[in-house]
Amino acid sequence: MTSLLPTKYAPAERLNGADVNDQARSVNAEIKNNQFMDAIPDILTILNEQRQVVYANTRLYELFNTTEKEIIGLRHGEILDCVHASESEGGCGTTEFCRECGAVNAVLESQRSKQSIKECRVLSKGGKAYDLRVWATPVMLNGKQFTVFSFKDIRHEKRRAALERTFFHDILNTAGIVHGASALLKKNKNKSAVFLDMIARGSEQLVDEIKSQRQLLAAERGEMELNLQETNPLDLIHRLSSVFKPSDLAKDKYISVESTSASSSIKTDSVILGRVLSNLLKNALEATEPGEMVRIGCIEVDEGMQFSVNNKAFMPKKVQLQVFLRSFSTKGAGRGIGTYSVKLFVEQFLGGRVWFETSKSSGTTFYFSLPLTLRTQV
């Protein structure tokens, strides 16, 4: 075993290649009925005390198009290409982000002789988001303790929950406004202009919600096509501000467009840019208390345009470590698409970068930068 390595969470040490291969051969010899293990439809692995894979069923090799030689000795974050798996010398499980990882915590619990079932969210370096349910169970093989670790893809379950919330809550509420306004229009024709305006705005919001879900699905499948055009970001920010100000979400709250914002144009997809800004503005308003202000703006930096959305709420460390993960939300089940979709749209399609800063004195600011000219889809 190597000398102690630095870690911010789980132990970093690993067995060397020869030792882990010896373990793999020993485990395979113990598991004589591999056909039974390969018949299991979910991914099943066996981990040593260093959380390294010493056995995997055929399902893993099929899904990741890989071989036993490439997998033995790795940890699960490395197999999934987690964005944090290579951030520290110790690898998967050793960064501060790993403290909130369901997979690592399930394995650590199993090593204390306790079966564990958890959910795990992973964002890969290529932008792919995983929603997993993981099982970790301690077993003894050849007098040594191992962990039987399996995981199941539950992203469709999470997607369904998000869609149900969108269509049964958000869209139903908007449809209720349209229905109520049309009923009032029949009874009070002398106020037709007011009610027609309510119907128009409600209908526009309905269409926007549906388009939003369609765009996200297309982006996750890698099928979203961009429509590049000259766009004035400041005009877009002002339009969004005027849309949100009369909404229930902004009731008793204030939206301020930064006076230092740049008025120059950029070449990008204005619809997707609007979607990103809307998601950040919506999140900021949800985190804002009555009487407080949300600030939004854009400035030119290093041959690009940098956008910012600020609110006064401080983001706790537990939230900071998971903020861009799909399905993570502090607002309850069926949420957690907003900041994930922002990162997906900006970094996978608009050629930019997303980050945030948070402090008790300045609140939370989400930033993203875009090139002045997006020439091709990235």
pLDDT at 167: 57
User: Does residue 3 form part of some domain?
Assistant: no
The count of other CB atoms within 10 Å of the CB of residue 366 is 25
> What was the pLDDT predicted at 223?
74
pLDDT band at 127 (very low <50, low <70, confident <90, very high): confident
Last residue of a domain, one of 222, 242, 273: 222
What angle, 0 to 180 degrees and rounded to 10, lies between the N-to-C axes of helices 192-220 and 270-286?
110
Could you tell me if residue 8 is inside a domain?
Answer: no
Q: Are residues 98 and 21 in the same domain?
A: yes
Residues 203-234 have pLDDT tens digits of 776 776 677 777 777 776 777 788 899 999 99
Characterize 146-173 residue by residue with b for buried, 16 or more Cβ atoms within 10 angstroms of its Cβ, and e for exposed.
bbbbbbeebbeebbebbeebbeeeebee
DSSP line for 61-105: HHHHT--HHHHTT--HHHHTTBTTTTSSTT-TT-SGGGGG-HHHH
Confirm whether 10 is domain-assigned.
no
Q: Say whether both 142 and 164 belong to one domain.
A: no
The mean pLDDT of 176-204, rounded to a whole number, is 68
Arithmetic mean of pLDDT, 312-318: 89
pLDDT range class, residue 312, cuts 50, 70, 90: very high
Higher pLDDT, 331 or 161: 161
pLDDT of residue 334: 41
262 close to 298: Cβ distance less than 8 angstroms: yes
Q: What is the pLDDT of residues 321-371, one digit of tens each?
A: 888 776 555 554 444 467 888 888 898 889 999 999 999 999 999 999 999
Q: Is residue 26 part of a domain?
A: yes
Tally of domains within the chain: 3
**Are 213 and 239 within one domain?**
no
**CATH number for the domain including 117?**
3.30.450.20
Q: Are residues 133 and 160 in the same domain?
A: no
pLDDT tens track for 76-92: 999 999 999 989 889 99
Note whether 145 and 272 are same-domain residues: no
Of 153, 172, 195, the last residue of a domain is: 153
Do residues 232 and 377 share a domain? Answer: yes
Across the range 136-157, mean pLDDT stands at 90
Whether residue 287 lies inside any domain: the answer is yes
Q: Percentage of the chain with pLDDT > 90?
A: 47
Residues 299 and 170 in one domain: no
**Domain co-membership, 231 together with 373:** yes
Q: What is the pLDDT of residue 108?
A: 96
Of residues 197 and 89, the one with the higher pLDDT is 89
pLDDT of residue 21: 92
DSSP one-letter code for 329: -
The pTM for the full model equals 0.62
The domain in which residue 62 lies consists of: 17-153
Per-residue pLDDT tens for 317-334?
888 888 877 655 555 444
Same domain, 186 and 326: no
Closest CA to 50 of 118, 111, 101, 105: 111
Residue 111's nearest CA partner among 148, 80, 143, 162 is 148
Give the residue from 131, 153, 175 where a domain finishes.
153
- Is 28 domain-assigned? yes
Residues 145, 172 within the same domain: no
Please report whether residue 5 resides in a domain. Answer: no
Min mean pLDDT across 88-102, 113-127, 159-173, 189-203 is at 159-173
Instruction: Please check whether residues 235 and 367 belong to one and the same domain.
Output: yes
pLDDT value at position 2? 47
Q: For 221-323, where are the alpha helices, taking DSSP H only?
A: 233-244, 270-286, 317-320
* CATH code, 246: 3.30.565.10
| Residue 6 belongs to some domain of the structure | no
User: Does 1 have pLDDT greater than 70?
Assistant: no
User: Between the CA of residue 17 and those of 14, 73, 87, 207, 243, what are the distances in Å?
Assistant: 9, 7, 21, 56, 59
How far apart CA 69 and CA 54 sit, in angstroms, is: 10
Whether residue 127 is found in the same domain as residue 40:
yes
